Structure 1
Amino acid sequence: MRLHRLLGILSILLSRKTISAKELSVKFQVSLRTIYRDIKAIEEAGIPLYAIPGNGGGIGIVEEYKLNKTVLTGDEINYLMTGIAGLKTITDTEKLQILLMKLFPANPYIVADLDILIDFSAWNKNATEVLKQNVNIIRMAIMSNNYLQIEYLSSNRRSNLIIAPYKVIFKSAAWYLFGKSTVNSEFHFYKISRIVKMEIINEQFVPVNAEIPADWSDDFTNDRGEKITLAFDQSMEYRVIDIFGKDNYEHGSDGSIIVNFHCSNRNWLIHFVLGFGINIEIIYPPDLKKEYLDYIKRIILKNHC
């Protein structure tokens, strides 16, 4: 922790002419005595410092020692800050704030001035905290090459798995663990929200090259599985845009919204269609419509009074 603070102090001294010890103690939330010890350590490392006493004075680095740090354009800084701001919502906030202090010591809270803000957190505060914990555990396992033991919920079963973790991925409003299963030695995507238990086990794996598919999905894609045609009521256009995009559907002569796509998971598809109630119709294939109606009949029988 002290190393991080020393680097932060050094960054501030490089970007400003002088700064008071009191201001440094407030920024890093430590005592004046600690700051004076840090300043002494920086001097002992061979960095020439000077002090100006009185009001308006402070501690500074000899100008001849400073380097020109103007290596990023304004747009590049914005891109960097946008990414850091997004990560702050789901990972170690303290470490990222220290990073901001190093990069932008004159204004480490510059995030508030960005015109694009990315927030990966959930609307539910508890869900966000669980996500943070899980992401941090997975990252620790990735960095140490340790296996993860997880209890995972899928559409039809609860599984206890041992996974070699490789990546944490955010795609289409969800977080995924990309890892290699010890059951079949294949790589899979595991939705982090469906991991109900997780722990790092004291066994390491040897990493191998793992390519993430350029186009992957648990549900539907544009080029895999059977062709599906659905007709949505026009009142559902706002949801269709969210799911398929504004250029991937057309309007029928009756005002309905027609969508063509491919799907390799019928079980998922039937539940997807159910979510639209009476505002959707299966156009193709015919056997999918029959399977869907049979499923609805089973629901009626189960809930019949």
Structure 2
Amino acid sequence: MSQLSRLISILTLLRSKRLLTAGELSRKFDVSVRTIYRDIRKLEDAGIPVTTIEGKGYSLMEGYTVAPVQFTEKQANALITAQHLVNQTNDVSFATDFKEAMTKIKSVFRTSVQEKSELLSSKIFVFNSNYENISSNALSEIQIAITNFNYVEISYRKANDEQVTFRKIEPYAFYSTQHKWILIAWCYLRNDYRAFRIDRVQNFKILNETFEDRKFNLQDYFQSCPYDENNHSTLL
């Protein structure tokens, strides 16, 4: 049994209002007690309120319920496929948040749908001939800054340039091309809109200070800005 299947099974047992010990779970799933401890931490990290009762075992916090949502097999397959595509973005924060969200979503899959979705997952392969081994870890945080209109400070390194520059920006929109995430933001250093590759952001800080929305429109931006050799907006 895969770890995901075991996590969902443990959650299902806990939802039945049973009080379960690590020993019981280890025997049931034929794994070590240490593995069960890690599984419980995984559930807690995913936001599931597992309560530890000293000397007695684990249970779910009283009142916790999983939303009565049902997915068809095709809908589940679409989510599984999306997860494989998300993993190609090379942004650790985004991939991690999506994985944790999928753990929660899969907890409400019917058993038959869960089994088939895992089978499909093992049969999906995504190849990228233009792969660059450059990762980022800023996408999820900057997404929050966009929707809350928070200023962001970044240290940024342009393509083919070792120099790192400091920028204060107003983040407005993202788009993806060739498995790379591009941020469009108002840059105070250039006093204009600029496009930043997220994987070239060396460091960033989300400020508590908020900015006034400039009513940025991505379509208008593409129509008015210069283009690079790949027919995308100019990248720094």
Cα deviation for residue 212 of structure 1 reads 1.4
Change (3 A) 1:177 1:136: same
In structure 2, what is the Cα distance between the partners aligned to 1:196 and 1:219?
23
Cα deviation for residue 178 of structure 1 reads 1.6
Cα deviation for residue 204 of structure 1 reads 1.7
Change (3 A) 1:182 1:112: farther
In structure 1, what is the Cα distance between the partners aligned to 2:167 and 2:190?
11
8 Å Cα contact 1:86-1:119 kept in structure 2 = no
Change (3 A) 1:20 1:91: farther
Give 2:229's aligned residue.
Answer: 220
DSSP 3-state at the match of 1:219 = coil
Give 2:102's aligned residue.
Answer: 100
Give 1:29's aligned residue.
Answer: 39
Give 2:153's aligned residue.
Answer: 149
Question: Unpaired segments of 5 or more residues in structure 1?
Answer: 1-7, 48-60, 223-262, 266-305
Question: Does 1:12 pair with 2:12?
Answer: yes
Q: Which amino acid aligns with 2:229?
A: F
Residue by residue, what CA displacement relative to the aligned partner does 1:114-170 show, whole Å, maximum 9, x if unpaired? 35445899653xx32xx1x23244234335432122343267886532111123322
Give 1:179's aligned residue.
Answer: 185
8 Å Cα contact 2:73-2:117 kept in structure 1 = no
In structure 2, what is the Cα distance between the partners aligned to 1:82 and 1:119?
13
In structure 2, what is the Cα distance between the partners aligned to 1:209 and 1:174?
25
8 Å Cα contact 1:88-1:96 kept in structure 2 = no
Count of aligned pairs between the two proteins: 190
Give 2:210's aligned residue.
Answer: 204
DSSP 3-state at the match of 2:59 = helix
Question: Unpaired segments of 5 or more residues in structure 2?
Answer: 1-7, 30-34, 42-49
Q: Which amino acid aligns with 2:101?
A: L
Question: Does 1:165 pair with 2:186?
Answer: no
In structure 1, what is the Cα distance between the partners aligned to 2:59 and 2:212?
40
Q: Which amino acid aligns with 1:38?
A: S
Answer with 1 or 2: which has the greater Rg.
1
Cα deviation for residue 189 of structure 1 reads 1.7
In structure 1, what is the Cα distance between the partners aligned to 2:233 and 2:80?
39
Change (3 A) 1:94 1:182: closer
DSSP 3-state at the match of 2:218 = coil
In structure 1, what is the Cα distance between the partners aligned to 2:58 and 2:142?
37
Give 1:77's aligned residue.
Answer: 76
Cα deviation for residue 82 of structure 1 reads 1.9
DSSP 3-state at the match of 1:82 = helix
Cα deviation for residue 79 of structure 1 reads 1.9
8 Å Cα contact 1:150-1:196 kept in structure 2 = yes
In structure 2, what is the Cα distance between the partners aligned to 1:108 and 1:148?
43
In structure 2, what is the Cα distance between the partners aligned to 1:27 and 1:20?
15
Task: Map 1:47-126; keep pairs closer than 5 Å.
Answer: 69-70=69-70, 72-88=71-87, 90-92=91-93, 95-105=97-107, 106=111, 107=114, 110=117, 113-114=120-121, 115-118=123-126, 124=133
8 Å Cα contact 2:153-2:205 kept in structure 1 = yes
Residue by residue, what CA displacement relative to the aligned partner does 1:73-106 show, whole Å, maximum 9, x if unpaired? 4333222222233335634455434322322224
8 Å Cα contact 1:146-1:204 kept in structure 2 = yes
